[in-house]
């Protein structure tokens, strides 16, 4: 499977990515790309139907085949994401226009019913995700007015899927419940919108705000980790000033990308607080001009403390 950033680049430049394929292989590659994007988003193992390991409880399975490169059979979903606390039945299509719903999405409820019955999953814990370049007018009307409202339909355009994946890449400790909250918000927007244009505007704004909220929640961990990463570049030095770390991070493109989304800018106080709060470093002293000196913790120390925390949580009854 391609790396998260390669998958993100392919989503953002979908025409370029698909230009090397023809006929049915284009839709096959699109299905696979969407499944890989979800795998990276929820940071779960990716399988195809011919490589799936059913004993892995949480995973993303594309129902096409890798070895013979065939798309998912028409009688079922294109992919299944078994997340922490919920499940996603994923339908992906390159079809546009009036035939989009009937050709690609009309059978999705049966696919969801079959999956929930076979796996003892409650409807409230399942989302039916429709991934396409652009939601057609007929698809919008069909989903919005669907009589079976116990099923939660979540239309996602490729541009929004790219933003969701970008969020997960930047916030590498993003919780699955954050994603579930986004899907609930999209479903509510679908039901409450008056027109397709209104829905698309709502989703664009909702996804943008969701991304900002998630990254804001993860800011302290993000800054702490990036500061720790910067400290490792000082080779054998163990005592490093927060001003030195700041100058390194200000040149880092991912730092700029992160703060462009959430607003504000990185500071020495933020570096100090996040490094100490998340135990990436210890405060040793301050210089005469007030600069804080940090010492990064050894990697094995950090790892063992995290393992103790995990074990303590697992013992809670």
Boundary residue ending a domain (168, 196, 217): 217
Residues 41 and 190 in one domain: yes
**Average of pLDDT values for 73-91?**
92
State the pLDDT at residue 148: 65
Residues 203 and 261 in one domain: no
Residues 15 and 159 in one domain: yes
Tens of pLDDT, residue by residue over 289-312, are 889 999 999 989 888 988 999 999
Boundary residue ending a domain (175, 194, 217): 217
Residues 165 and 302 in one domain: no
Rounded CA separation 276/21 (Å):
50
Residues 72 and 25 in one domain: yes
Contact predicate 91/72, CB 8 Å: no
Residues 135 and 269 in one domain: no
The first and second tokens of residue 129, run together, are 């995700």
Rounded CA separation 234/136 (Å):
53
pLDDT at position 105 over 80: no
Residues 40 and 177 in one domain: yes
∠148-137-198 over CA atoms, to 5°? 90
Residues 248 and 208 in one domain: no
Residues 272 and 283 in one domain: yes
Between 144 and 84, the higher pLDDT residue: 84
The first and second tokens of residue 83, run together, are 């997340």
Residues 120 and 197 in one domain: yes
Q: How far is CA 128 from each of CA 93, 118, 176, rounded to the nearest angstrom? A: 14, 16, 16
The 60-62 sheet, strands edge to edge? 46-48, 60-62, 79-82, 87-92, 126-132, 152-157
pLDDT at position 54 over 90: yes
Q: Domain span at residue 36?
A: 4-217
**Average of pLDDT values for 23-30?**
91
Q: What's the structural domain count of the chain?
A: 2
In the chain, pLDDT over 70 holds for what percent of residues?
99
State the pLDDT at residue 145: 81
**Average of pLDDT values for 31-55?**
96
Residues 289 and 199 in one domain: no
Residue 307 belongs to domain with CATH number: 1.10.10
Q: Would you say the pTM of this structure is higher than 0.75?
A: yes
Q: Is 46 exposed, middle or buried (0-12, 13-18, 19+ CB in 10 A)?
A: buried
Boundary residue ending a domain (192, 217, 242): 217
Residues 213 and 276 in one domain: no
Contact predicate 134/5, CB 8 Å: no
In the chain, pLDDT over 90 holds for what percent of residues?
76
Residue 206 belongs to domain with CATH number: 3.40.91.50
């Amino acid at each position: 499977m391609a790396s998260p950033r390669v998958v993100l680049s392919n989503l953002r430049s979908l025409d370029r990515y698909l230009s090397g394929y023809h006929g049915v292989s284009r839709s096959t590659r699109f299905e696979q790309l969407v499944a890989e994007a979800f795998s990276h988003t929820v940071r779960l193992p990716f399988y195809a139907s011919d490589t799936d390991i059913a004993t892995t409880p949480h995973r993303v399975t594309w129902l096409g085949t890798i070895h013979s490169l065939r798309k998912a059979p028409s009688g079922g979903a294109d992919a299944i994401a078994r997340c922490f606390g919920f499940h996603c039945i994923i339908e992906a299509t390159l079809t546009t226009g009036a035939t989009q719903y009937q050709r690609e999405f009309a059978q999705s409820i049966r696919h969801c019913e079959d999956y929930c019955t076979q796996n003892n999953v409650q409807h409230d814990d399942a989302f039916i995700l429709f991934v396409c370049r652009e939601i057609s007018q007929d698809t919008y009307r069909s989903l919005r007015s669907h009589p079976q409202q116990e099923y939660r339909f979540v239309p996602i355009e490729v541009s929004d899927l790219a933003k969701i994946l970008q969020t997960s890449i930047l916030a590498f400790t993003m919780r699955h419940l954050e994603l579930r909250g986004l899907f609930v918000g999209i479903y509510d927007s679908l039901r409450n919108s008056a027109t397709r244009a209104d829905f698309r505007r709502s989703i664009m704004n909702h996804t943008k705000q969701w991304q900002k909220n998630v990254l804001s929640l993860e800011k302290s961990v993000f800054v702490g980790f990036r500061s720790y990463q910067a400290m490792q570049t000082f080779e054998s030095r163990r005592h490093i000033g927060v001003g030195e770390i700041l100058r390194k991070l200000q040149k880092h493109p991912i730092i700029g990308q992160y703060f462009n989304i959430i607003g504000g800018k990185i500071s020495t106080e933020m570096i100090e607080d996040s490094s100490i709060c998340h135990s990436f470093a210890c405060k040793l002293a301050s210089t005469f001009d007030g600069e804080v000196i940090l010492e990064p913790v050894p990697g094995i120390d950090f790892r063992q403390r995290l393992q103790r925390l995990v074990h303590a949580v697992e013992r809670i009854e």
